[in-house]
Each structure stands twice: as structure tokens, then as C-alpha cells.
Structure 1
């Protein structure tokens, strides 16, 4: 049995590097000086209050920990990176250069960067929200070096035996006797990058020749798995890397953060998580979210690895994307929750994040309003968390060609850039949306309404779920390719959600079967107060098996109707 939750997490993922950047004249592949950069201080109490308006309970500040960059911070005793092993001018936030330090880009005063991060955590808590940051456990930047860790802590790779391809106590994997050969060799000054012996690349490439399609700027961390010999496991005694990563987790948990989003967690053996997460949680009340894409591993990472939540990407996200784009029927959605029997409440739902294309992009739905139907389903169908990506609520299209990140429908994580929809919403720090279009304002209000329903209605945060698709399969007044319907129920309240994935208004009749009344404990044909949670309009109505429930659905949207008995 799954445990009941009294709060539904609403996570707002935001990239500080571009959230606060107000620069309007941007240069492709521009430097920090040319294109500007956002700061922690841009998350003012007013800004945070506006984020909280969305029903937000947690903010995932993406790209907090120091990573490789082409910006020179040697004046602050930060080692310079060779440009051949940095993606974009700003660098990837997933090529960690120092696990114990803050990205200097994000500080008003670089020398005070840790204090400025701690102040951001405190401001976020004062605004009534919790803080999530990335933990990147699988790989580090090619030139990893910690300037900030305590002297008594041994550096990653410091005592590795580089003559061995694998050793349980090495922190890295090596290709003995071979130099690294990169697809890009020279830096901006014509100096060649040198690495001997070559280290294995972060995406499990165990040779000296990563291509431009590999994570060539990173090196793989060794948790005691010998990938070249049948993936044999060497976990006793506990590998050196385990202790070092546990110390890093404890270090950040001690900064009063509330959770970790663990990058590519499935590339790290579940046995490490089984060991480390309880040790962290024993001292710190933090949650762990895993980026896991293989459904065969879901239950292992939850029940053995102790993760609180996992990405629901290859199930619900991929299905909803196909339905929104007209490439699959809405009748495919039930298979998503059915495959997650017993673990549904552990899945993190989303329609956007930094890895995926923007919903409003030309590569996805093209029209941001087309995502509202998917939002109703993803945010309301279970008690599990839901996440949005900053700018999604404004219809951000992600159609800029920023530099290293080309015209791909994503907002860059590699380049110095700013986001026009966020700039227009902030309107010079007033956060009044004064420069948004009427359509953008309406879209944001729809997100506020739906996500606050998700956050505040007990039938959503704690209630039971009943899928209505099977009973409407042959209903000629309900198109199960383009509509999806379900019930949520808690105590004396029932919520009927009907989503419409078509671009036109639809009149539909929804059959409610006897099984629903019996399973949910609802009395058939009993008068109830019916409230449209999207508009606030109230009337007297009833649900019954005797006749279908008739409802008019707006285009690309739906109805959320609460019946109180």
C-alpha cells in the first residue's frame, strides 16, 4: 500500500544564470561581459512571492555548484579551465569542477559566493518554500579540482593508481598508456589540452577517443563497478569514492537545503544509494529525487536505493507529449499509471525541464495553450509531485539560437543568455507582468489556478483515483483519442477532471460506472454542490450511473468539477 501524503509538492525548476539576466541585446556565443548573467540576489522577496503564487512548495535552483567555465576567475583563486573541455562560454552545470564551492557567476561578490547562496536559502525559506539543488554523482569536469574543500579531505583521484584501468579504490577509470584524443583540441590561445593517461568519459565511454556527441567534457566516477569485466561489483570493502561522495552530500545538506535532484542516478550503482541516503537522512531532513529513465530500475531505486521520487519521463511525459501533438490517443494514458502500480506516488511528473524541449517550441506543441490539457492530467491525477520549468507558465518557446546550444527548442544551459518572457514578466523588477501579452497573462493565470488546485484540494493531495477511460471506450459522445477523464475522491468530496486535447470546444458525455461509486464510496444520484474549480462557479448537480454527465470543454483545456456531499 502507498502512504498518504497531506501535501502535494509543486517544484519550480529555475536556472539562476538566466532567471535574473535582463540583458536584451544578446550575442550568439557571447561572453559574460557581452551577454550578462543572473545572480542569486535577483531572487528578491518579491520575486519569490510571485514564484510561490504558482502553488510552488519547492524551488530547484539548477546549476548552483561550481562547474567548468570559459570565464576567467583566477583573480579569485579559482583554477582556469581549458576551453577544449568546456561546452559553451558559460559551461555545463553538470561538469562539476569543485563539489564544495558555488558557481562564481551567480554571486554579486565572488569572494562571498557561499554566503550569498546561504542567504538565498534563507530567503526562500522565509518566503515559505523549500530548496532543492543538483547533486551530480556520476561524472565531474575533466579538470576537476577543489579549491574550497578542507585540507584534510583527499582530492578526487589524488591517490589513484593510474596504471590500472580499474581499481576498486580509484576514483576514476583509466585507459593506461594512452593519451586522451578529443574532438576539439585547442583552446582560445592555441594551447592543446593534454590528459595522460586518458580517463573514461562520463557517459560510460571507456576508451581514449570521445566524440562530439559524447559527454567529452566529463570523466566517469568509479563506484567499484568494473565495466570492462562483466560489470563485476567490488563493494566490500566500501570503495573510496563512496566515502567522498557521502561527505559532499553531508556538506550541502548542512547548508540547510531541503533536497537533492540526483543527476543520472541510474548510472551510479543502487548499492551506493542504499548505503548513502539513510546515512544522510539520519542527520538531515532532505529528500532525494532521482533522474532515472529505465522503468526496470524504478522499484529498485525506490525500495532498495531509498529515493523519495523518480522522474516519470518515459511513461507519462512521453505519452502526454505524443497525445498533445496528436501522435497518440489519450486512451494510452491509463497504461502509464497501471505500469506504476504501488509506486505512483513516488513519481515526479512534468511537461518541461532543462533536458526537454519547451512545450511552446516549434519542436513540440508550438502553442503554449495546447499544454493546459496535459497540465490538468499530469498535475491532478495523483498525489505525487509535479514540476514546472521557469518560463513554462509564460509560454516561453525556447527558440533562440544562443551559441553552443543551437536552435533546438530548449533554453540553453551552456551559454550566457536571458529569457524574454521572464524579462517581460519581471518588468524591471516590479514583477507585475506589465510587458506580457494578454495571452501570456492568461496562460500564467491558468497555471496559477491549476497548480493551486493541485496544492490545496484534499481530493488531489490525499484522495483516491479512478480512471474513467475504460467505461467510455465505446461511448460515441466521448472521444477517447482526444479526451481523458478521471475521478479523485477524499471524504465527502469528489473531483471530476475531464481534459480536452483538441483545438476546438467539445461537448462530451462522461459515463460514470457502478464500480466508481462502489470503489470510491459515493452514493449514486445524490444531490451535491458542484463547483467549477477553474472559474469558481457553483450549482447543484449529481453524479449517477443512470445517465452520462454532460460537460462542455474549452479547447486544449478541460474542466475540474468538485462535488461536495
Structure 2
């Protein structure tokens, strides 16, 4: 059989031309005329790509970066910075959903009393800009993010509309486990009462209390470590080592002392969902068989049942944002809240928007299936399993075989497990504390994005190698600060003074950005990624070639598209080996003996698959930290 001469896909060609890398004649031929029907199907055939952006940092062009600096000194990004150019740049990464982190109004150390907002006490605020996970008003947005704080909600609504106009959906945070120590909603509807407004504070617990209390005792500010000063030692009228809270409330991480420790979530208070202090439940249990029922059945289950007051408050909050046009939510520390509440809440969201995107932070693998099947979560972080193991591979401390094992273990829920390499909680890839080189994220990103049916998440600045190198104040090096006013240097070079065109990037940063664009656009469009998976790692380890635990190979396929993916994690040297394809895969792909054209979807270069006696072989050559994503060309069969 003669080798087929494939045509380069319109998508691959457009990406190569965009980065000035048109294929050489001996590597690939020009694209054929596009098939509109096929292209339209491919556009929606891939997987969701979530772009997480720390909203207050994204558009900030100020480069002062003074530790503990004020907004005036260090600057702050605004909703308006997400203009057409910025949104086009985000969309270029294959983005389907933007998670605008830090939108709900949280405690900040800035005077907004002119707008009716009370001042927050720096003794119970982390950083000067404040933690986005200490929400002060769930019916409003952070005034720092608005050009006119009086119109902050209208400005966010305009951002929702702009995001939708660019074909992307909007996610925001909901933090049900805890709120700021001083929760005070100015924007709530007339029918809504603040958290704690109707609590019986004479008891530790009551089902319809929103908080837990230490009756008769006053809250005490934590004892600060020797190397810590509130606001870096800057004077502030409220920085006096005191905060009035009588009686004291439990702290957000469940600490019950009137004086939480510095490493407790002391800036927040724990929310009561009807869980007694001994851990027993004060509400109806969800029958186990509801794991097999749809959200409509869950919705009906809760009709007419009495539920804790907190459940109703959060239901009203999420439906308020859903009605405003928010398309979904990222739930902070969801595992600290009972699964029955999630059944109740998510069923009500789906009743209003069946397509809502519901993503939860859960770190205990034995709970994954409960939160997906009983809690109606669409997606969970795949942190403890996939991310943690892939991080070890990137650091040269772990085998790629572990990724194969995890993929097998997650097979029944893989489409619900969101993959990522960075987020606001994790170290930056380029940080010395993680990998020390953003390029080490390249093979890992190929594997993370393509190995399963899971959605993929990118963190802003990841695509240009941001290292999170500085101590910003409360925020420390290796993680981009979420507590301080700050500029993000590598990302600022992509912003290029507000042009959002990458014009100030170094050649290495520009190359990295192009890699992410190519990979993530492919991930968002490739139909095979919603198809079957066949690991090739075990067979190739056993083949006795140069293939080792520094490589990972697998196939992804459906009737429309067949892919071979190989990534090489050695940062010092390249590798050549013969990739073996087992007989069962060759049979599944219905390939007879002969030669078949392969085309790398990352570069456009071609190779060939040779099938002999019902088994396949591909001669693979990879540079250090290189990857290939070969698509089988079946034209002319």
C-alpha cells in the first residue's frame, strides 16, 4: 500500500501561518478547500477550556511592585481592561469559559465609605487588597475593579455581555464554607437578611443559625509570628491588634478557639449548613440511589422539605447571579460542605440554567464520586491524583507510569475531572520551587490536555512563563499573590501597555505563548478527545527500546479522528525510538498492512505509520521536552 499524501488541516495551517511557520514542502502540503460542514462540527467537537484570571491583576500595567503597596502605588486591574483586544487574546487560547476570580465583594483595606461601604479591619484581612475568599457582600462586586465604584455592578454586567459577545461563558467564585469576619451586604434585595442577622448567639449551634458561636467569649486577634506585621508595619487607624466580635464565631477552617492561629483562616468565619458540632446532620439525608438520578429528580426530592436557613440564602445568591447572566460557578472547598446541600443548590441552578458549568474544589479522592453523583457537580479539580503525580514527573522525581495508573483508576469519572498545571493556589511552573523552567510545562500540558475527556484549565500568565518570583507582602514567592496589589511582569509583557498583542514578549515567551495557543485550540476542537483512550506506555516499556519512564504515549480516537500522542519529559536531551502500536489498536482502527501518513498537529510535520503483520510502528524523534500529536490521515484508503 502506498503512503497517503495528507493535506494539512485548515486549523493547523492557520496556526502555523500565524506564527510564521508555514510548513516546508517536503513536510506538508497546502490545505485543501475547507469543508464548512466539517469545520463547523470540529469547532464544537472538543473539550471545554477554562481560563482562570485573577481579575484585579490581569489588566494592571503598573510595574512599581512595592511590597504591601497601596492601590495608588502599585495599581490595580479593572473590569474595563477586558476589552475586545484582551478577550480576543484569551479566546486565542481555545477558551470556552473565563473564570473571573475575585469578583464578589470581599474585605479590602481601602476607604470606600463615600460609597456607603464600611472600612475593613486589617487585623482580620490578609494582605492590603484582601483575600477573594473572605466575601463581604455576595450581592455586589469588588469596588477596586470598577472605574466608578458607584456603578461597580453595572460595569460587571457589561463585562458579562462583552465576554458573551466573544463566544465565551462566565464563571465566578462561590465560597459557601466561610465568609468575611464582618459580612455586611449593601446590595442585597429587600427580602434578604444578612448572614447571622437572625442567629441565636446564646448557643453554639442551632440548625437555622448561619454561624457557630463561642457563647460568652470575645474574639481575639491571632498572635502574629515574629516576622509578620499587619500591612507590613504601615500605620492604620484600625490596625490595633483588636477586632470586636462578641460572641466569637468559629473560624472558617473549623477552628473553634476564640483566638485562631495565624495559619488558620482567621479572616473568615465558618458557615453552618445544619451540621451539628459533633458532625451529625440536622437535615434529611439523600437516599443512596439518587447517585443514579438526574438533577430533575434531585430538584423534586427537595421540594416541600425543610432545609437549614443557610441553604436558602446560598440558593438565592447563586440564582441572583445566574439571572444576571453568569454561566456557572467555581465552588471553593466544596468538600467542607455536606453533599446534600450541593444536591439542593445545584439542582436549583440547573432548574434555571440546565447548561450551567459547576466546578468544585475537592481534595479527597474517596469523596469524588459522591460529589459528582450525589452533589451534581459537573467537574472537580483533579489535583490530588493527576496534577500531583504529573508535577513529580515534571520535577524528575516520579515515573510516567503513575499517570497511566491514575487514568485507569479515574476511567468511570474522567470526563468530570478538570485538569490543570497552574491555578491561584499552586506554584508557578517556572518558579524554582516547582520546575524552574516554564518549558517543562510543555510536555506536561500536552499530556494534561489530551489524555482524557476532562476539561482543561489555564491560569493567566502560564502561557508566557510567569514565575511568581516576588514577595508581594502577604503573598509570597512561587505563587502569584492573591492578597496584594501587584503587577505580573511576564503577563504585563503580553499586555504590551494595554494592546494585548504580546508585542513586548521575549522570543522565548512568544514561542511558549504560540505553543499554548496551538495546543489549546486543538484541544477545544479535536473530536477524538471525546472518544476512546488506549495507553501505549506499557507495551513500549516492554519493547526494550529507548522508550522509558521519561516518556508517555497514548492513542485517542473516534470514528472521525485517530491520534497518537507522545511526550518526552527529559529537559537535557532528545530521544529517538520506535513507537509500537499493538494489534488490538490496529484492528480497532481497521488498518491493513502498509504505510499511512501521520501529521503532527503541533507543527504540521509529517511521519509515517508502518503496519506489518497486524502491528504498527512509528519512528519517533523528539527534542528535549518535545511532544508530537500525530493525526492519522485516511484519505485515499
Confirm or deny a common fold (TM above 0.5): yes
- Structure 1 residue 540: deviation in Å? 5.1
Determine the C-alpha separation between the residues in 1 that align with 2:594 and 2:345.
Answer: 52
Question: Is it true that 1:205 corresponds to 2:255 in the alignment?
Answer: yes
Q: Aligned pair 1:355/2:425, yes or no? A: yes
Which of the residues 155, 171, 192 maps onto 1:116? 155
- The answer to whether the 8 A contact 1:478-1:510 is kept is no
Q: How does 1:490-501 map to 2 (within 5 A)?
A: 490-501=558-569
- Select the residue among 362, 367, 387 that pairs with 1:317: 387
What's the CA shift string for 1:176-222, capped at 9, x where partnerless? 12211221598822542121111011111122121010000000000
After superposition, give the CA deviation of every residue in 1:298-352 in whole Å (9 maximum; x if it has no partner). Answer: 1111111111000000011001000010110111111111221210001100000
- What SS does the aligned partner of 2:380 have? strand
Give the match's secondary structure for 2:346. helix
Verify the 8 A CA contact 1:492 1:564 in the aligned structure 2: no
Distance 1:199 1:208 in 2: 7
2:324 to 255, 273, 285: 255
1:379 matched residue in structure 2: 449
Deviation at 1:230, TM superposition (A): 3.9
Query: How is 1:332-411 mapped onto 2 (pairs within 5 angstroms)?
Result: 332-407=402-477, 409-411=478-480
Q: Of 287, 292, 295, which residue of structure 1 is paired with 2:362?
A: 292
Deviation at 1:175, TM superposition (A): 1.0
Question: Contact (CA 8 Å) 1:370, 1:557: kept in 2 or not?
Answer: no
Please, which of 232, 236, 241 is the counterpart of residue 188 of structure 1?
Answer: 236
Paired residue secondary structure (1:414): coil
Secondary structure of 1:473's aligned partner: helix
Deviation beyond 6 Å, 4+ runs, structure 1: none
Structure 1 residue 475: deviation in Å?
2.5
RMSD value, Cα = 1.6
Deviation at 1:154, TM superposition (A): 1.3
Return the offset for 1:498.
Answer: 0.4
Secondary structure at the aligned position of 1:25 is classed as: coil
Pairs within 5 Å for 1:81-96: 81-96=120-135
Name the counterpart of 2:339. Answer: 270
SS in 1 for 2:173: strand
Match in the other structure for 2:28:
none
Cα-to-partner distance string for 1:426-461 (whole Å, 9 max, x where unaligned) = 11222222211100000001111111111122112x
Gaps of 5+ in 2: 1-43, 225-229, 285-304
Matches within 5 A, 1:139-154: 139-154=178-193
For the residue of structure 2 that corresponds to 1:423, the secondary structure is helix
Partner-residue secondary structure (3-state), 2:566: strand
**Please, which runs of 5 or more residues in structure 1 have no aligned partner?**
none
Aligned length: 557
Does the aligned pair in 2 maintain the 1:329–1:480 contact within 8 Å? no
Q: Is the 8 A contact 2:583 2:616 kept in 1?
A: no
What SS does structure 2 have at the residue aligned with 1:75? helix
Alignment TM-score, normalising by the size of structure 1: 0.96
SS of aligned partner of 1:444 = helix
* Residues 17/492 of structure 1: CA separation in 2 closer, same or farther (3 Å cut): closer
User: Following the alignment from structure 2 to structure 1, what is the Cα–Cα distance between the partners of residues 592 and 486?
Assistant: 56
Partner of residue 482 from structure 1, selected from 550, 556, 572: 550
* 8 Å Cα contact 1:543/1:549 also seen in 2: no
Pairing partner for 1:282 from 333, 351, 376: 351
Tell whether 2:606 aligns with 1:558: no
Larger radius of gyration: 2
Cα distance change of structure 1 residues 541 and 279 upon mapping to structure 2, 3 Å threshold: same
Secondary structure, counterpart of 1:428 in structure 2: coil
1:229 is matched with which residue? 278
Q: How does the TM-score come out when normalised to structure 2?
A: 0.85
Question: Which residue of structure 2 lines up, in the alignment, with residue 126 of structure 1?
Answer: 165
Residues in 1 aligned to 2:485 and 2:49: alpha-carbon distance in whole angstroms: 28
User: Whose RCO is larger (CA < 8 A, sep 6+)?
Assistant: 2
SS of the aligned residue for 1:203 comes to coil
The Cα of 1:18 is off from its aligned counterpart by 0.8
Q: 1-side partners of 2:56 and 2:611: how far apart?
A: 50
For residues 84 and 608 of structure 2, the distance between their equivalents in structure 1, rounded to whole angstroms, comes to 42
Q: Aligned equivalents of 1:496 and 1:419: distance in 2? A: 36
**CA–CA separation in structure 1 for the residues paired with 2:280 and 2:549:** 44
Aligned counterparts of 1:502 and 1:465: Cα–Cα separation in 2: 24
Please list, as runs of the form range in 1=range in 2, the aligned pairs for 1:498-513 lying within 5 A after superposition.
498-503=566-571, 504-513=573-582
User: Which residue does 1:176 correspond to in 2?
Assistant: 215
CA contact (8 A) 2:140 2:187 kept: yes
Is structure 2 residue 202 aligned with structure 1 residue 163?
yes
Check the 8 A contact 2:609/2:618 in 1, yes or no: no
In structure 1, distance between residues paired with 2:102 and 2:439 = 29
How many Å separate the matches in 2 of 1:194 and 1:107?
Answer: 30
Query: Is the aligned partner of 1:219 residue 2:287?
Result: no
Q: Check whether the contact 1:84–1:184 (CA below 8 A) recurs between aligned residues.
A: no
Determine which of 537, 540, 553 is the counterpart of 1:469. Answer: 537
